[in-house]
Amino acid sequence: MSSIITKSYFTLPETKIVPAPPEDTDTVVIGVYKNELRQSKDINKISEKIKDIFYICEKANFDGDSGKFLYILNKPIIVLVGLGDRKESDIFWSRENIRRASALGCTEARKLGAESVTLCGFEEKVREALEGAFIGLYRFKKYSKHEHEREKEVKKLFLVSDKNSEKIAEFVRIVCEAQNFARDIINEPGNVINPSTLAEIGSAIAQEYGLFCEIFGVEEMKKMGMHGVLAVGQGSAVPPKFVHIWYKPEEIKSSIKIALIGKAITFDSGGLSIKTNQNMQHMKADKSGACAILAAMKAIAQIKPNIQVHGIYATCENMPSGTAQRVDDIIKMMNGKTVEVVNTDAEGRLTLADAISFANKLGVSKILDMATLTGACMVALGEFTAGIMGNSDEFKRLIFETGLEVGDKMWILPFDKDMEEKIKSPVADLKNAGDSYGGAITAGMFLSEFVEKGIDWCHIDIAGPAFVKKKIGCYTVEGATGFGVRTAVELVKKIQIQNQ
């Protein structure tokens, strides 16, 4: 079975912006704000045919609150979904409520057998409505045949709007298809995706979408001094690879270059500091950062911004064996700094450090890395929120605000000079892990040691939201979320606008 894919296994429905619901649509999903049923023009229109519609809503306790839904077996079937409070002041929830309502309506319509769905009442939030539908309908069906997979797929999606929203719809389609593509690769197990195949996917994406690509093997990494990557990968039967893909506009209008780096551990056993079985489960998702960056590069190639963007990932499998790195080993990193290994399960930061050193040499002004780096970040922020750290308050704020807008929930964590001693080693420049307190922050502080002066850098610890173990919001199935794809793409757009 081929593991080299360039498009998501999940096909998005054909999508059209229409002035009114088509007559042959199977289901009409109507978004309603809280306590605004009687103000809804869509429900008032339905009341002409279903006279007791408001009574039905009252009996079912449907008031438009977020997370509530009600379906009416009519022809077409009507699914009412709550949009929450119209005056919601929180930037994240004001948009996320729309995404979740759209996802809920579309998946409920699918359960009812709908192959064509029309979204009404979302005119003010076309982007969020489409994001919710495209992300919510996703399923990873490659290997299983569960009962729910007998459901028909939604093949046509119509969104009612009197605005010219075709360009928005096309943009959302590109980005969400890329996000679902990332979810597919993350959901693939370690016996399918390994360092070799993940590098091949990068090469195939570059070839199909007109990106530049170079892939380095072990000998080339030795010459460049990437001993952090080599140390992590030396315990596996599959050697590590270093992947650099980049987008260069045909007409360069800006000297700005940005690097996007992702952690790419295709399976993380913990190495000789081996994880428990419970903690090892789902460690196929330790490549989530790289998959998000790879998907973002795929979208960027189609959107064609006017700035150069570099995508970088060092892909390894962290395995215990007779050749694996040991606790107490000392590694000389690409930038010349030495690192004492005190925990082989703190491996991702070693690969990211060399990737950052590589990015330093590309003449970039900004670096963003994403990584499922620490369980400590989940302890601090919960499993649904990523942690942002970095050396530039302005850059951190930009990423934080971008995440809120596009639906990637994040929070800024502070670096603390009083914690620097935690990563200092008596026998080397640094050690690769601190103690049990502030683990997410000390991991970020470790990475900061490899960023050259003059470069704005941010690190996003996505350990929690990269992979959900239960349905949450738009993520209507357990598994990979593709967290960070929309943030990375939108960030590139914003940086382009700032430098026009």
pLDDT at residue 123, as a whole number: 85
Domains 14-160 and 174-498 share a fold: no
Residue with tokens 């990475």: 447
The 10s digit of each residue's pLDDT in 182-213 is 999 999 999 999 999 999 999 999 999 999 99
Q: Given a cut of 70, is residue 152 above it in pLDDT?
A: yes
User: Could you tell me how far CA 279 lies from the centroid of its own chain?
Assistant: 21
Q: Given a cut of 50, is residue 490 above it in pLDDT?
A: yes
DSSP 8-state code for residue 345? T
DSSP 8-state code for residue 342? S
For residue 461, list its beta bridge partners: 371, 387
Residue with tokens 């959900």: 468
Round the average pLDDT of the chain to a whole number and report it.
95
pLDDT at residue 148, as a whole number: 56
Question: Domain extents for the chain?
Answer: 14-160, 174-498
DSSP 8-state code for residue 256? -
pLDDT at residue 162, as a whole number: 81
Q: Given a cut of 80, is residue 361 above it in pLDDT?
A: yes
Per-residue pLDDT averaged across 234-258, rounded? 93
**Contacts of the segment 126-129: beta carbons below 8 A, 24+ positions apart:** 126/17, 126/159, 126/161, 126/163, 126/165, 126/168, 126/169, 127/168, 127/171, 127/172, 128/95, 128/96, 128/98, 128/99, 128/102, 128/407, 129/31, 129/98, 129/99, 129/102, 129/159
The 10s digit of each residue's pLDDT in 364-383 is 999 999 999 999 999 999 99
Least confident of 116-120, 149-153, 219-223: 149-153
DSSP character string of 427-453:
SSSEES---SSSHHHHHHHHHHTTSPT
pLDDT at residue 74, as a whole number: 84
Pick the closest to residue 440 from 461, 412, 417 (CA basis): 461
pLDDT at residue 141, as a whole number: 87
Residue with tokens 């919001």: 473
Angstrom distance (rounded) from CA 359 to CA 381: 29
Q: Given a cut of 50, is residue 227 above it in pLDDT?
A: yes
**CA distances (Å), origin 207, targets 176, 179, 199, 229, 243:** 21, 19, 13, 25, 14
The 10s digit of each residue's pLDDT in 257-275 is 999 999 999 999 999 999 9
User: Could you tell me how far CA 197 lies from the centroid of its own chain?
Assistant: 20
Angstrom distance (rounded) from CA 172 to CA 135: 10
Which residue in 7, 275, 337, 493 is the catalytic one? 275
Phi and psi torsions of 306, nearest 5° = -100, 25
Query: What are the tokens at 349?
Result: 């930061």
Per-residue pLDDT averaged across 316-344, rounded? 98
Evaluated on CA atoms 87, 88, 94, 96, the torsion sign reads negative
Per-residue pLDDT averaged across 15-38, rounded? 95
pLDDT at residue 149, as a whole number: 59
Side-chain-side CA neighbours of 152 within 13 Å: the count stands at 13
pLDDT at residue 150, as a whole number: 63
Angstrom distance (rounded) from CA 205 to CA 128: 27
Contacts of 181 (CB under 8 A, 6+ apart): 5, 6, 7, 8, 295, 298, 482
Q: Given a cut of 90, is residue 108 above it in pLDDT?
A: yes
pLDDT at residue 164, as a whole number: 84
pLDDT at residue 1, as a whole number: 46
Architecture of domain 14-160: 3-Layer(aba) Sandwich (3.40)
Which residue in 284, 349, 422, 431 is the catalytic one? 349
Reduced to 3 DSSP states, what percent helix, strand and coil does the chain have, rounded to the nearest 5? 40, 20, 40
Q: Given a cut of 60, is residue 87 above it in pLDDT?
A: yes
CATH of domain 174-498: 3.40.630.10
pLDDT at residue 146, as a whole number: 66
Per the annotation, the verdict on 275 as an active-site residue is: yes
Q: Given a cut of 60, is residue 432 above it in pLDDT?
A: yes
